């Protein structure tokens, strides 16, 4: 098997089936926790780049992809954070870098604030900073639910284009193929949690080296948010990707890799 080849497997952790894709098989472990409607496979182009220098894992968060997805499951942030901790334990991944995007960043922060033992550092990519009494998350719920329903009925890349107009044909096709695996009640719960639970409550308790990657064109994190988060944790590293929207790797992949390089001291952008 090539050093960068993908292997996929299921693991029982935190009482559910968690599906994981692994790339690289060498170096320090790096675990990617995707966002609200991003099955693990949609992060493959990122994982392949990271795999040149890290043993890279991408997880299907519960209610997405090939991980457990049942009506009786809890889809709140605490349950998903416990999934991440359970996964690290099940795979015995010590000294792990955890990179979470959007919802995944919230999951990573909650897990690290509660049980950071196997984690070495966090990369929080444009997490929603909405919450009780705060500015609403800029995306609207129908953007997610409408596209999931279309994908469930059957949709191709062209049909997905109106939702993600700047994406490549390959990225659109992959999203169209896999979006139906996103369980709508799980997505609704996560979206509501963006407004009903507080990301800020977890930030002071982050004792690991933590970087906040901010999309310059995303509208999710604004200058006043950076100032507040920095006041809550003065060790927080702030890294900007000026030309990207919220979906940073899709909007500006070289910029994303450069930001990771500045955090980890890698040379991913040069290698790509």
In a domain, 157, yes or no: no
Residue 15, Ramachandran bin (φ over 0: left; ψ between -120 and 50: alpha; else beta): left
- Whole-number CA gyration radius for the chain: 17
In a domain, 155, yes or no: no
In a domain, 1, yes or no: no
In a domain, 256, yes or no: yes
Domain that holds residue 32: 6-138+198-271
> pLDDT, tens digit, for every residue of 224-262?
999 999 999 999 999 999 999 999 999 999 999 999 999
**Residue for token digits 């949709």?**
155
> pLDDT, tens digit, for every residue of 10-61?
999 999 999 999 998 889 999 999 999 999 999 999 999 999 899 999 999 9
Tokens representing residue 184 in the block: 């709508």
Quote the number of domains for the chain.
1
Tokens representing residue 99 in the block: 């990179």
CATH of residue 122's domain is 3.40.50.1820
Strand residues in 84-198 grouped as ranges (E): 96-101, 119-125
Res. 4 pLDDT band, cuts 50 70 90: low
In a domain, 212, yes or no: yes
d(CA 132, CA 143): 22
Strand residues in the chain grouped as ranges (E): 6-13, 16-23, 28-33, 54-59, 96-101, 119-125, 210-215, 237-241
In a domain, 42, yes or no: yes
> pLDDT, tens digit, for every residue of 153-170?
999 999 999 999 999 999
In a domain, 16, yes or no: yes
Judged against a pLDDT cut of 60, whether residue 1 lies above it is answered with: no
Q: pTM for this one?
A: 0.97
């Amino acid at each position: 098997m090539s050093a960068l080849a993908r292997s996929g497997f299921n693991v029982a952790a935190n009482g559910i089936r968690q599906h994981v894709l692994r790339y690289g098989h060498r170096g320090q472990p790096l675990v990617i926790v995707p966002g609200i409607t991003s099955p693990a496979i949609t992060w493959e182009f990122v994982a392949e780049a990271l795999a040149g220098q890290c043993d890279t894992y991408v997880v299907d968060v519960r209610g997405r992809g090939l991980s457990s997805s049942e009506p009786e499951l809890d889809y709140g942030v605490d349950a998903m954070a416990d999934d991440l901790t359970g996964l690290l334990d099940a795979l015995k991944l010590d000294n792990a870098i955890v990179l979470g995007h959007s919802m995944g960043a919230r999951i990573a922060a909650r897990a690290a604030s509660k049980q950071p033992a196997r984690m070495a550092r966090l990369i929080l990519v444009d997490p929603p900073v909405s919450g009780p009494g705060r500015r609403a998350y800029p995306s609207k719920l129908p953007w997610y639910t409408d596209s999931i329903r279309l994908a469930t009925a059957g949709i191709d890349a062209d049909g997905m284009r109106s939702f993600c107009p700047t994406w490549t044909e390959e990225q659109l096709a992959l999203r169209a193929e896999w979006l139906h695996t996103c369980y709508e009640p799980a997505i609704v719960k996560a979206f509501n949690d963006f407004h009903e639970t507080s990301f800020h409550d977890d930030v002071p308790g982050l004792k690991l080296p933590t970087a906040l990657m901010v999309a310059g064109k995303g509208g999710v994190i604004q200058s006043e948010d950076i100032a507040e988060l920095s006041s809550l944790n003065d060790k927080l590293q702030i890294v900007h990707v000026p030309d990207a929207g919220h979906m940073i790797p899709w909007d500006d992949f070289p910029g994303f890799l450069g930001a990771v390089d500045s955090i980890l001291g890698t040379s991913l952008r040069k290698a790509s």
